[in-house]
């Protein structure tokens, strides 16, 4: 098939499914599910065929003309877009199939599936966009779709609050991104991404160093918001209020991945500014470490995974900022697989036990759920960086990029974050699979109104992603080839530090939570002040509430009072004065002839007296 036919199949199929479901099938949920999953299947088929055909020339079409400037939209078929497009389509289809079981009893499932299709269309259109303005438009649509899905259960105040928080905090970043996009137009005169990245005639060659730094920093502000990096990271844990399959999609291949993908897409621009790269290294290091400390103490299985996503996104940005496009993209793809797997496994536990609490899931027999437990072990091991799983190889590339100039503060922070990652991941695994004691399964645990504990519609996507997470580490050479980069081969000695910190993290988790005689209390509990700090998310949200929210509310209250008392009050007093004058003058117009005659005589008398006195 022609590239145009394939890309239209890939991007238009979910849009058509969304349109049909939301407009025509709201009262026919079963048919809506079939249409949406069919659209997802066609999208995956189109993305896979594009990948098999390999990189091709971009397709561009004139959108509109403004003066000498021509704005175009189209599709870009290079290695990164082709590979990540397949990842997006595959994980979205897995989530759609999984949702058949997870959302089977929800009365609004047609709306839910329609929004999944909208989410997929927006993300795929962003991934394949050839134009920076086109990318920004679909970037915003990705945020809109996530708003709808995070707040899907809008009857819950916590869900609507989480959706608004996500929408507003990511808009803060998007303001910076939009200004950066406009500066690109001012300097380059166009938005064409291949043209902007051209070595000789691109933005790096045209822009002054200070201007390029400003542009890349503004674009990075948008990335910080979308990919939940410090200090705009606090919306992501709250976004767990949405359905768990949404969390799987949000954290793996769509919303938060969009920021990292944008940096990878524009990587040559970022490499042109040492100042921007330094800022990214600092922000990503802080994020990777802070989020890992929060995951160490979280008891909600979804919150652990949410903090983990924030930390791993920091790892990806570290690899990209250290100069390795391969390291960032490799970890982006492996993380998409094992993080989607972990969220879907958590959904199986939550769906069956109706609890997010790790200890409670373990006590009630979480390890008896075979598919969920297998996926938890494989996905958790990949997240922790256990060889030979995908997370090990992709993180090793990040460590290699950070250490190419010797030991630096960034490589030390990354190793510390990797140690904490292994610790909190196996803390989660041991709490579920090795509880201090297990309760006898209650009769209702076998049903809970949902049928079998692991319905096939939910188990099959978990099984597929388990296999993917297990073998993704061996795709490194293919990913490097797709990016046009030669894959490096690292010695065992260079891998030793990463292996040792992972082993140390796993052993510490075993001592605290895995042994039969373990107290199942983390070592951090011995330092109550630190435990409180981590439990409260380093008080970042508290700072926002005290400084930003309350200050804004105070200013709004003062301005409201000024408006009411000063401006509105002044105009009210003027209005009442006019009414008073009007009321007084109405007494002169009472219709009494005698009254008029009397006033006439008085006025004539006054005038005559005035004239008589020589006035």
Q: Is residue 189 part of a domain?
A: yes
pLDDT for residue 443? 57
Q: Is the pLDDT of residue 68 over 90?
A: no
Q: Region 134-148: what's the mean pLDDT? A: 96
Specify whether 432 is located in the same domain as 509.
Answer: yes
Q: Region 332-348: what's the mean pLDDT? A: 96
Q: Is residue 488 part of a domain?
A: yes
For every residue of 182-250, DSSP letters joined together read HHHHHHHS--BHHHHH-TTTSHHHHS-HHHHHHHHHHHHHHHHHHTT-TTS-THHHHGGGS-HHHHHHH
Helix ranges, 487-565 (H):
492-509, 528-535, 540-543, 550-562
Residue 317: count other Cβ atoms within 10 Å of its Cβ: 30
Q: Is the pLDDT of residue 335 over 70?
A: yes
For every residue of 292-337, DSSP letters joined together read HHHHTT--BHHHHHHHHHHHHHHHHHHHHHTT-HHHHHHHHHHHHH
pLDDT, tens digit, for every residue of 357-383?
999 999 998 999 999 999 999 999 999
Specify whether 445 is located in the same domain as 557.
Answer: no
pLDDT for residue 581? 80
CA–CA dist 271, 278 (Å, integer) = 11
Which of the residue ranges 196-200, 305-309, 566-570 has the most confident prediction, judged by mean pLDDT?
A: 305-309
Query: Dmax of the chain from CA atoms?
Result: 123
pTM: 0.90
Q: Is the pLDDT of residue 570 over 50?
A: yes
Q: What are the CA-CA distances from residue 348 to residues 27, 260, 361, 454, 588 (Å)?
A: 27, 28, 11, 7, 84
CA–CA dist 463, 503 (Å, integer) = 26
Q: Is residue 297 part of a domain?
A: yes
Specify whether 190 is located in the same domain as 241.
Answer: yes
Residue located via tokens 């996104």: 313
Q: Is the pLDDT of residue 431 over 90?
A: yes
pLDDT, tens digit, for every residue of 95-123?
999 999 999 899 999 999 999 999 999 99
Find residue 74's DSSP bridge partners.
60
For CA atoms 58, 59, 65, 71, the dihedral sign is: negative
CA–CA dist 385, 595 (Å, integer) = 102
Specify whether 519 is located in the same domain as 567.
Answer: no
pLDDT, tens digit, for every residue of 3-38?
999 999 999 999 999 999 999 999 999 999 999 999
Q: Region 513-520: what's the mean pLDDT? A: 86
Q: Are 172 and 232 in contact (CB under 8 A)?
A: yes
Q: Is residue 155 part of a domain?
A: no
Specify whether 416 is located in the same domain as 561.
Answer: no
Specify whether 239 is located in the same domain as 347.
Answer: yes
Specify whether 604 is located in the same domain as 495.
Answer: no
Specify whether 429 is located in the same domain as 553.
Answer: no
Specify whether 494 is located in the same domain as 581.
Answer: no
pLDDT for residue 591? 65
Q: Is residue 368 part of a domain?
A: yes
Q: Are 250 and 279 in contact (CB under 8 A)?
A: no
Q: Could you tell me the pLDDT band of residue 143, with boundaries at 50, 70 and 90?
A: very high
Q: Is residue 416 part of a domain?
A: yes
Q: Which domain holds residue 585?
A: 543-612
Q: Is the pLDDT of residue 528 over 70?
A: yes
pLDDT for residue 352? 92
**What b-and-e string marks burial along 166-178, b requiring 16 or more CB atoms within 10 Å of the CB?**
bbebbeebbebbb
pLDDT for residue 614? 67
CA–CA dist 538, 546 (Å, integer) = 14
Three-state secondary-structure class, residue 151: coil
Boundary of a domain, candidates 532, 554, 577: 532
Boundary of a domain, candidates 532, 562, 585: 532
Boundary of a domain, candidates 532, 566, 587: 532
Q: Which of 259, 289, 324, 293 is nearest to 487 (CA)?
A: 324
CA–CA dist 17, 376 (Å, integer) = 32
Ranges of beta strands (E only) in 19-117 are 56-66, 69-77
Specify whether 468 is located in the same domain as 566.
Answer: no
Q: Is the pLDDT of residue 345 over 60?
A: yes
Q: Could you tell me the pLDDT band of residue 1, with boundaries at 50, 70 and 90?
A: confident
* DSSP for residue 512: I
pLDDT, tens digit, for every residue of 278-304?
999 999 999 999 999 999 999 999 999
Q: Which residue has the higher pLDDT, 575 or 165?
A: 165
Three-state secondary-structure class, residue 15: helix
Q: What are the CA-CA distances from residue 358 to residues 118, 291, 299, 391, 441 (Å)?
A: 32, 18, 6, 23, 16
φ and ψ at residue 74, rounded to 5 degrees: 175, -160
Specify whether 369 is located in the same domain as 477.
Answer: yes
Q: Is residue 362 part of a domain?
A: yes
Q: Region 314-321: what's the mean pLDDT? A: 97
Q: Could you tell me the pLDDT band of residue 613, with boundaries at 50, 70 and 90?
A: confident
Q: Is residue 537 part of a domain?
A: no
Structural domains in the chain (count): 2
Q: Which residue has the higher pLDDT, 181 or 390?
A: 181
Specify whether 315 is located in the same domain as 353.
Answer: yes
Q: Is the pLDDT of residue 333 over 80?
A: yes
pLDDT for residue 263? 97
Q: Which residue has the higher pLDDT, 232 or 516?
A: 232
């Amino acid at each position: 098939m022609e590239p145009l036919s394939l890309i239209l199949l890939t991007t238009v199929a979910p849009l058509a499914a969304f349109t049909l479901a939301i407009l025509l099938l709201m009262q026919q949920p079963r048919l809506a599910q079939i249409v949406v999953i069919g659209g997802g299947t066609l999208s995956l088929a189109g993305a896979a065929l594009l990948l098999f055909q390999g990189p091709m020339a971009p397709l561009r079409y004139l959108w509109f003309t403004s003066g000498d400037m021509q704005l175009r939209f189209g599709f870009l078929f290079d290695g990164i877009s082709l590979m990540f497009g397949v990842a997006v389509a595959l994980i979205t289809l897995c989530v759609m199939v999984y949702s058949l079981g997870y959302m089977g009893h929800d009365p609004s499932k047609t709306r839910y599936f329609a929004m999944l299709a909208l989410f997929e269309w927006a993300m795929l259109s962003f991934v394949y966009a050839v134009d920076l303005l086109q990318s920004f438009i679909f970037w915003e649509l990705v945020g809109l779709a996530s708003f709808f899905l995070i707040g899907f259960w809008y009857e819950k105040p916590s869900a609507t609050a989480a959706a608004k928080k996500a929408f507003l905090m990511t808009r803060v970043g998007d303001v910076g991104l939009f200004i950066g996009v406009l500066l690109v137009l001012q300097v380059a005169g166009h938005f064409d991404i291949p043209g902007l990245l051209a070595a000789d005639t691109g933005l790096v060659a045209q822009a002054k160093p200070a201007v390029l730094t400003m542009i890349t920093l503004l674009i990075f502000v948008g990335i910080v918001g979308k990919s939940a990096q410090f200090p705009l990271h606090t919306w992501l844990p709250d976004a767990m209020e949405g359905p768990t399959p949404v969390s799987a999609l949000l954290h793996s291949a769509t919303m938060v991945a969009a920021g990292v993908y944008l940096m990878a897409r524009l990587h040559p621009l970022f490499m042109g500014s040492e100042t921007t790269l330094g800022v990214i290294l600092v922000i990503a290091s802080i994020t990777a470490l802070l989020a890992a400390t929060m995951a160490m103490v979280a008891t909600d299985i979804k919150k652990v995974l949410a903090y983990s996503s924030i930390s791993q996104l920091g790892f990806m940005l570290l690899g990209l900022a250290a100069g390795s496009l391969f390291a960032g993209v490799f970890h982006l793809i492996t993380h998409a697989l094992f993080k989607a797997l972990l969220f879907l496994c958590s959904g199986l536990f939550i769906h069956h036990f109706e609890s997010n609490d790790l200890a409670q899931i373990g006590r009630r027999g979480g390890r008896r759920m075979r598919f969920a437990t297998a996926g938890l072990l494989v996905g958790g091991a990949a997240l922790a960086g256990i060889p030979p799983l995908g997370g090990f190889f992709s993180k090793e590339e990040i460590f290699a990029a950070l250490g190419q100039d010797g030991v630096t503060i960034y490589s030390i922070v990354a190793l510390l974050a990797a140690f904490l990652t292994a610790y909190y991941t196996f803390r989660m695994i041991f709490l579920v699979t090795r509880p201090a004691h297990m309760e006898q399964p209650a009769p209702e645990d076998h049903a809970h109104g949902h049928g079998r504990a692991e319905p096939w519609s939910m188990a099959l996507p978990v099984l597929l992603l388990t296999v993917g997470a297990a073998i993704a580490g061996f795709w490194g050479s293919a990913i490097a080839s797709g990016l046009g980069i030669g894959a490096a081969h690292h010695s065992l000695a260079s891998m030793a530090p990463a292996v040792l910190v992972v082993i140390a993290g796993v052993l510490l988790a075993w001592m605290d939570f895995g042994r039969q005689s373990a107290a199942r209390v983390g070592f951090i509990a011995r330092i109550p002040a630190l435990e409180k700090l981590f439990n409260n998310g380093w008080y970042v949200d508290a700072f926002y509430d005290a400084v930003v929210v309350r200050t804004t509310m105070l200013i709004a209250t003062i301005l409201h009072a000024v408006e009411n008392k000063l401006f509105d009050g002044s105009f009210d007093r003027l209005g009442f004065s006019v009414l008073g004058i009007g009321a007084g003058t109405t007494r002169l117009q009472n219709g009494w002839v005698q009254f008029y005659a009397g006033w006439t005589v008085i006025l004539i008398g006054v005038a005559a007296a005035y004239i008589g006195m020589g006035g």
